[in-house]
Structure 1
Amino acid sequence: MYKKNLSERDICTKFITPALEKAGWDMQMQVLEEVSFTDGKIYVRGKFTARGKRKRADYILYYKPNIPVAIIEAKDNNHSVRSGIQQALDYSKILDIPCVFSSNGDGFLFHDRTATDNDIETELSLDDFPTPEELWERYKKFKGIETPAAEKIASQEYFFDGTNRKPRYYQQIAINRTVEAIGRGQNRILLVMATGTGKTYTAFQIAYRLWKAGAKKRILFLADRTALINQTRKGDFKHFKGIMTIIKKKVVIGKDGSDELVSTKKKGIDSSDKAFEIFLGLYQGLSNNEPAVEDAYKDFSPDFFDLVIIDECHRGSAKDDSNWREILTYFRNATHIGLTATPKETDEASNSEYFGEPVYSYSLRQGIDDGFLAPYRVIRIGLNVDAEGWRPEQGKTDKYGNAIEDRIYNRSDFDRKLVIDERTDTVAQKLTEFLKGYDRFAKTIVFCVDIDHAERMRSALARYNPDLVAQNHKYVMQITGDNDEGKRELDNFINPEEKYPVIATTSELMTTGVDAQTCKVIVLDANINSTTKFKQIIGRGTRINEEYGKSYFTILDFRNATDQFARPDFDGDPIRIKPVTEETTLDGIVDEEETNNEPIIDTETGEEIEMGRPQIRHPEPGKSGSIINEPRPKIYVNGVDVAALITRELHFDQHGKPITTSLKDHTKEIIKGQYASLDDFLSKWHATDRKEAIIAELQEQGVMVEALYEAVDKQVDLFDLICHVAFDQPPLTRKDRANNVKKRNYFTKYGEQTRRVLETLLDKYADEGIENIESMEVLQVKPLSDFGSTIEIVNGIFGSRAKYMAAVKDLETELYKVA
């Protein structure tokens, strides 16, 4: 009976830990207890947020700090030795761990994921727990590590800088799978990790382990944005300082009279750079558009690099006919690792054809569910001209007096072919209204159709925010590839410590390579048909920075771009659809939207120039109009009635898919899946000590409690909310329930002081709900704190903690008695 009275933690301390020590496990270096490996999903409740439960393993066993080989789930002795095995198996699959154990203190049930015969599950005594070497052998079998060279690479430890930072569980899996694949001889590797999940940090740890193990001595990190190279050099790769350099572009330094090239040089670099071991290269710096200038990468022999890491591999060297692609072909004997959040799979382009299937994928939805990425709210604002289209009335001319073609213009035309001034103003007005009701200093990115649109949007937002623009003209800035003033402010925009700029209008420049940790609002006023581009844009808001109050972000969608969320390939591994050919490519052709609106990249700096200026028709005397020498004509009109028809918040289920039925019907379906009848729900409600647990359970199933409050009545209790929505019961407000308790003279059985405390708790319930009175912290808040300290109330007035909790429980029972 002694064991039956022990808690789960006592079972761990008295039985499981001694068994591990006896088997030779180092409790300081190889064993972690009560390991939380997720942060807990963030739930958005109006303007407030709350964290869900973290996933926690009782024990994780490591052969080395980077190699988790086993997981143990513990239960108290009132459970069987097998009772924890299913939970442990779920965690082992998430964590990529081969050896799984369950224990209740009597022994262990061992599930061996490497086994293929009847020995897949065996019972072990406390004295028979496997040694570290035994589980390392099983790990090697699980991972296909068969040679001493592969074992040396796989067992090489991480870089540790003396801080508390170490790879998150998914980063650890990505790193391990990559180095293990290289140890097995795989030379083309693809890692798919959502924006904001630390791809560059993961790449650094991969590079460090391979370099430290001597498997890869010279490493090239390739990117196609200057910002990405600079972030890499100053950020995660800074620990390579002293052995790292940036390859610079070759430039012409002179020509003779016949225009023949005299000589070339590299900017600030010479042949001695070959003594370095880590090289950062911008595609534009390695290749040239001038036939007379030799490409910089050809200064290196084809076998110079052992490893090439390609950042954002869905673009850059994507095109088959690009001279950037030639860089990868030139260094084809090296191992190539592709990093991307958005692998491209179309009928003409395939990441998987070049790299193979991803060795690991970690999606946006996984990141949000684990609490590592910020969740999002989506507010759609429908404009009348977008929904109905706009047709010019007879005789309507543009702003310059030119006749306008008589046809219906729709959302795909606006700001690309036809500009309606009032439409731009309405978007700026609605965004300003939102920020005034939310936070006027919330970092905001407005994605526009092109540079011209971004310019006009900046002006419109300045007009609608004159007070803040007067305080600082950088309150709203145009940050586009052609605007030097705006580009200089990009670092300030993404710096959490800098207040200005607050609002950035852009088109292409900020879609990628912008680590905007505190971006709280993303505005979509561009037609986005490419899932790849949409993912990249959404990724600007997914980073969390709770120190600066960033735990979720809001998407204001003016163009129905968030329809992309409903695409089956939005948040999972894309299905390869390109026909298999003898030739392999990275990406082939870009998506349709990107083809129509493809940014221009400066071959010198890697900056995005974006789309050119629009062609504007200016009137000339005696003529209907003339065209200046600019690309793409645009028509500019005003005097159009533009208004917002509808503003509504989209809701998403627990799998991140948009809810297509009504919120009420969706909720009813979930609740009835949990409780078959009203009686089932009432039994659970009355039996549960803390009603907050029911709220958490429903949220995990996908019920948006706060959204239902908004839809029904904020003054309705959760109990009545559920009964009304799921079981069609007439709801009572919290004040109705509180008054019913008072009418029944329920408090007469208590002494005066006890009665006064309970009456105050009842008033607190009427104002704020059942969750608040269940927490003893409520006793520290006025007016309850007027009765004394928590200890004085609990022990002095009620007599003990047990008596206080019993009184609160009775109060709850009385509140719901009529049910």
Structure 2
Amino acid sequence: MIDKKQMTEEDIKLRYITPAITAKWSLDHITMETKITEGKINLKGNFVFREKPKKADYILYINPNKPIAIVEAKDNNHTVSYGLQQAMTYARMLDVPFAYSSNGDAFYEHDFITGQEREIPLSDFPSPDELIDRYQMGIGMTDNEKQIIDQPYYTSQTTYPPRYYQRNAINRTVEAIARGQQRILLVMATGTGKTYTAFQIVYRLLKSGIKKKILYLADRNILVDQSIQQDFAPLAKTIHKINFAKDDPITITSYEVYFSLYQQLTDREDDECESDEDETVSRLAKLFHKDFFDLIIVDECHRGSAKKDSNWRKILEYFSSATQIGMTATPKETKYISNIDYFGEPIYTYSLREGIEDGFLAPFRVINIRTNIGEGWRPYKGQRDKNGNEIEDRIYTNSDFDYNIIIEDRTYEVAREITEYLKSTDRMQKTIVFCANEDHAERMRIALNNLNADMVKQNPDYVVRITGSDAYGKSKLDYFISVSSTYPVIATTSKLLSTGVDCKMAKLIVLDQMIGSMTEFKQIIGRGTRIREKEGKTHFTVMDFRNVTRLFADPEWDGPIEQDDNYGKGDSHISEPGPDTPYGSNSEPKEKPIVDANGCKVEIIGKIVSVYDANGKLLRQESIIDYTKSNILGTYASLDNFIRHWSVEEKKENIRALFLERGINLENLKADQNMADVDDFDFICHVAFGQKPLTRQERANNVKKRDFLNKYKGAAREVLEALLDKYMNAGIYEIEKTEILKLDPFQKFGKPSRIAQFFGGKDGYLRAIKELEEELYKVG
């Protein structure tokens, strides 16, 4: 027998823990090495990598919907209870009532229902019936709850199983409804699958027979259509989109799931319009009696339904007998608006912070860009605008530009900076530019169009304005948010794309509007948080021209949700200042001064790259170049030291790999600095030691001017000349690879072995390559 102390953790599991569990539990109710999270994506320098995901050694289930226990294993050099805190961490994440650890000698149990812990012999591990009885008795489970727990999720080959937090949200919701709870609030960050979660809730409640008629309310057509076509597609035969103009009160009753806009049911464009309650009730009564629905789901409930006196709230009050679920990424708690007041405390919360930590949401870096007028611009005495009107003498700041005054050169400089960023990274990355208003969005579209005329020439929809009043832009919205559609690439907008619109491939979020509302700020940041790893999206960038990202320092950023102490005490008819109110005043001036480049010249005077953690805390604030320089100087003490290392390194690619380990992708960084035609050698010397860089073409031409090539005749010289051309186009790493001899233009010389004979054999060829490299990097 092997000494137990010498066994690995896997041996302990195989010989002791697994047999003890499977003696009581069938394999259908056990999963092993179960991935809970995806692993956080980290941004290190300009390099991106994933941490290892969290995995549970064993998860035990009542049924596929409901895990009931976690078991963590350790080798026998640890105590029985050593893994218990890890098991408890996973149990809390998964809403599991029992946690166990084992080292192969016994089990140690933590019971979350009683708070008690105890040691259990291997042979006495609890059976499924024992844990189920303890769980059901401990929480006082009702018959309705038992019924809903046994109702499975919807599964298919194209539907992914719920992630752990989605399962928590679904289970908590359906179990609360089974207990008779009538109002429920779910808070889930943008990009975490609120609609998919809603679908699984609806599916289980319908199939279990607990609910029969369900209304799904949203405030935008695209949100309704997205939900019907995507997440709710498995219920397509029982779904109906309400249309008051066409629906028959008799035949409309034949469906199970109804989708509607708030506005349709109130006959109002928005919830600010005055309307008496009788009118709203009368409209609803034309199609539905007040007890028709037994479940209502309110999407984006931080909007109109959170206002006590809104028309949207009247819909919920008319159907007051129905169970009502509010869903939002950003619950609103102000003096005038409260989700908690109506729906109660959230039954489950999964925050942006948790999503990023778990690796389900994309992390981001922020580029703060300052202009010479950001802190203030004052017209000179008597200065007139383009139309000949005198400009009011005062100091104008970021809060005024495009709201109260138009500085044409500022629009151009912002568009130029966006364009330069796209050129240095990826000109086809989906980009949303948030502008002050629709007019600003149109001027920004024109500026971006003209600065990217080469791309617009290929497709006129490269840049499109997508705003509420722009019919053409709205017709392109589906294409913009589609993962498979290339165009449009850049969307300029003001409010339309700030909430609810699911643009999975948005890699660049540009902030050129003032944002005073934390709710709207979270919604806008949420536009970029979706991950599409297969399509190359692992993170995103926020480019901030108005210092809006100062809101990361606000305690409200991803903080606890608390009801405002003053809610309901003031005049509830006062409109809350917020995202739909022009910044800085109640109304924008009818005619804004327009100042051209002659009247105000704008320049970019500073750029800082900031990386935040998931809590919005500033991890570091740096220039990527400074980060690279400090890493180079930490590796090579001097220029001579670096050149010596470069010269003696057999494979120059090893130096590139060393920088990748430090989080520096030299290729991306060169592109960012418009130095893609420069060798890594020159780039490193330039960044760290201030040397003037030569392009690869200049280095190749210097070799040709010297007599190095004259040493070789005939085919050997032709091969070296071709290698120099390859160096000019692709760099040093390519000519180091012997595989290059299998490609054009070398194929005409024959196989690599024949080419080597031009140099007297393989050793002679490698010697010639080494001499060519020395010649390329020769000083002078």
Fold shared by both chains (TM-score > 0.5): yes
Kindly provide the CA deviation profile for residues 625-644 of structure 1, in whole angstroms up to 9, marking residues without a partner as x. xxxxxxx4322121211111
> Where does residue 288 of structure 1 map in the other structure?
267
1:359 is displaced (CA, Å) by 0.8
Matched residues in 1 for 2:569 and 2:131: separation?
42
2:273 is equivalent to residue 272 of structure 1: no
1:550 is displaced (CA, Å) by 0.9
1:732 is displaced (CA, Å) by 3.2
1:468-479 equivalences under 5 Å are: 468-479=455-466
Matched residues in 2 for 1:15 and 1:588: separation?
68
SS at match of 1:295: helix
> Where does residue 592 of structure 1 map in the other structure?
577
TM-score, length-normalised on structure 2?
0.79
SS at match of 1:596: coil
Matched residues in 2 for 1:478 and 1:595: separation?
18
1:2 is displaced (CA, Å) by 3.0
Q: 1:652 aligns with which of 597, 601, 612?
A: 612
2:366 is equivalent to residue 378 of structure 1: yes
SS at match of 1:96: coil
> Where does residue 777 of structure 2 map in the other structure?
none
Letter in structure 2 aligned against 1:135: L
1:411 is displaced (CA, Å) by 1.3
> Where does residue 591 of structure 2 map in the other structure?
633
> Where does residue 306 of structure 1 map in the other structure?
294
> Where does residue 402 of structure 2 map in the other structure?
415
Matched residues in 2 for 1:269 and 1:540: separation?
38
- CA 1:536–1:770: 2 relative to 1, 3 Å: closer
Q: 1:138 aligns with which of 134, 156, 169?
A: 134
- CA 1:512–1:302: 2 relative to 1, 3 Å: same
1:318 is displaced (CA, Å) by 3.2
- CA 1:18–1:582: 2 relative to 1, 3 Å: farther
Contact 1:145–1:180 (CA<8 Å) still a contact in 2? Answer: no
1:81 is displaced (CA, Å) by 1.2
> Where does residue 174 of structure 1 map in the other structure?
169
1:188-227 equivalences under 5 Å are: 188-227=183-222
1:156 is displaced (CA, Å) by 2.0
> Structure 1: which 5+ residue stretches go unaligned?
250-265, 599-610, 616-631, 664-705, 721-730, 744-758, 774-779, 787-819
> Where does residue 622 of structure 1 map in the other structure?
none
2:232 is equivalent to residue 237 of structure 1: yes
Kindly provide the CA deviation profile for residues 129-148 of structure 1, in whole angstroms up to 9, marking residues without a partner as x. 11112212333356x34221
Contact 1:102–1:108 (CA<8 Å) still a contact in 2? Answer: yes
> Where does residue 559 of structure 1 map in the other structure?
546
Q: In angstroms, what is the RMSD of aligned CA positions? A: 2.9
1:735 is displaced (CA, Å) by 8.5
Contact 1:188–1:335 (CA<8 Å) still a contact in 2? Answer: yes
> Where does residue 100 of structure 1 map in the other structure?
99
Contact 2:366–2:542 (CA<8 Å) still a contact in 1? Answer: yes
> Where does residue 703 of structure 2 map in the other structure?
none
1:335 is displaced (CA, Å) by 0.8
Contact 1:318–1:589 (CA<8 Å) still a contact in 2? Answer: no
Matched residues in 2 for 1:591 and 1:30: separation?
52
Q: 2:122 aligns with which of 126, 130, 139?
A: 126
Matched residues in 2 for 1:785 and 1:114: separation?
66
- CA 1:155–1:711: 2 relative to 1, 3 Å: same
2:26 is equivalent to residue 26 of structure 1: yes
Matched residues in 2 for 1:78 and 1:709: separation?
46
1:495 is displaced (CA, Å) by 1.1
Matched residues in 1 for 2:223 and 2:653: separation?
52
Letter in structure 2 aligned against 1:732: A
Matched residues in 2 for 1:409 and 1:439: separation?
34
1:784 is displaced (CA, Å) by 9.0
> Where does residue 676 of structure 2 map in the other structure?
none
Matched residues in 2 for 1:166 and 1:185: separation?
27
- CA 1:654–1:316: 2 relative to 1, 3 Å: closer
Kindly provide the CA deviation profile for residues 183-228 of structure 1, in whole angstroms up to 9, marking residues without a partner as x. 2221111000000000000011111111111111111111111001
Contact 1:765–1:772 (CA<8 Å) still a contact in 2? Answer: no
> Where does residue 630 of structure 2 map in the other structure?
713
Q: 1:428 aligns with which of 415, 420, 438?
A: 415
Letter in structure 2 aligned against 1:278: V
1:160 is displaced (CA, Å) by 1.3
Q: 1:403 aligns with which of 376, 390, 401?
A: 390
Matched residues in 1 for 2:339 and 2:382: separation?
52
Letter in structure 1 aligned against 2:381: Q
1:48 is displaced (CA, Å) by 3.7
> Where does residue 7 of structure 2 map in the other structure?
6
- CA 1:79–1:336: 2 relative to 1, 3 Å: same
Contact 2:335–2:565 (CA<8 Å) still a contact in 1? Answer: yes
Matched residues in 1 for 2:242 and 2:135: separation?
40
1:306 is displaced (CA, Å) by 0.8
Matched residues in 2 for 1:106 and 1:467: separation?
70
1:451-462 equivalences under 5 Å are: 451-462=438-449
Equivalences, count:
655
1:13 is displaced (CA, Å) by 1.8
SS at match of 1:43: strand
TM-score, length-normalised on structure 1?
0.75
- CA 1:123–1:580: 2 relative to 1, 3 Å: same
SS at match of 1:386: coil
Q: 1:732 aligns with which of 637, 642, 645?
A: 637
1:620-699 equivalences under 5 Å are: 632-638=590-596, 639=598, 640-653=600-613, 655-659=615-619
Matched residues in 2 for 1:70 and 1:785: separation?
56
SS at match of 2:195: helix
- CA 1:769–1:738: 2 relative to 1, 3 Å: farther
1:716 is displaced (CA, Å) by 4.3
2:657 is equivalent to residue 768 of structure 1: yes
- CA 1:125–1:546: 2 relative to 1, 3 Å: same
1:174 is displaced (CA, Å) by 0.7
> Where does residue 689 of structure 1 map in the other structure?
none
Contact 1:476–1:501 (CA<8 Å) still a contact in 2? Answer: yes
Mean Cα deviation higher: 633-642 or 54-63: 633-642
1:425-504 equivalences under 5 Å are: 425-504=412-491
> Where does residue 605 of structure 1 map in the other structure?
none
Matched residues in 2 for 1:48 and 1:384: separation?
31
> Where does residue 525 of structure 1 map in the other structure?
512
SS at match of 2:486: coil
Kindly provide the CA deviation profile for residues 646-700 of structure 1, in whole angstroms up to 9, marking residues without a partner as x. 11112324643124x876xxxxxxxxxxxxxxxxxxxxxxxxxxxxxxxxxxxxx
Contact 2:334–2:567 (CA<8 Å) still a contact in 1? Answer: no
Kindly provide the CA deviation profile for residues 265-302 of structure 1, in whole angstroms up to 9, marking residues without a partner as x. x3255421112111111112212249989414552111
1:396 is displaced (CA, Å) by 1.2
Matched residues in 2 for 1:499 and 1:270: separation?
43
Kindly provide the CA deviation profile for residues 90-130 of structure 1, in whole angstroms up to 9, marking residues without a partner as x. 111122111010011112111111124xxx11111111111
Letter in structure 2 aligned against 1:26: S
Contact 1:428–1:464 (CA<8 Å) still a contact in 2? Answer: yes
SS at match of 2:520: helix
- CA 1:466–1:6: 2 relative to 1, 3 Å: same
- CA 1:327–1:734: 2 relative to 1, 3 Å: farther
Matched residues in 2 for 1:14 and 1:393: separation?
85
Matched residues in 2 for 1:734 and 1:81: separation?
56
Contact 1:383–1:643 (CA<8 Å) still a contact in 2? Answer: yes
Matched residues in 2 for 1:406 and 1:742: separation?
63
Contact 1:108–1:125 (CA<8 Å) still a contact in 2? Answer: yes
Matched residues in 1 for 2:591 and 2:173: separation?
49
Kindly provide the CA deviation profile for residues 707-766 of structure 1, in whole angstroms up to 9, marking residues without a partner as x. 69725434245xx6xxxxxxxxxx7379849969999xxxxxxxxxxxxxxx747x6654
- CA 1:9–1:248: 2 relative to 1, 3 Å: same
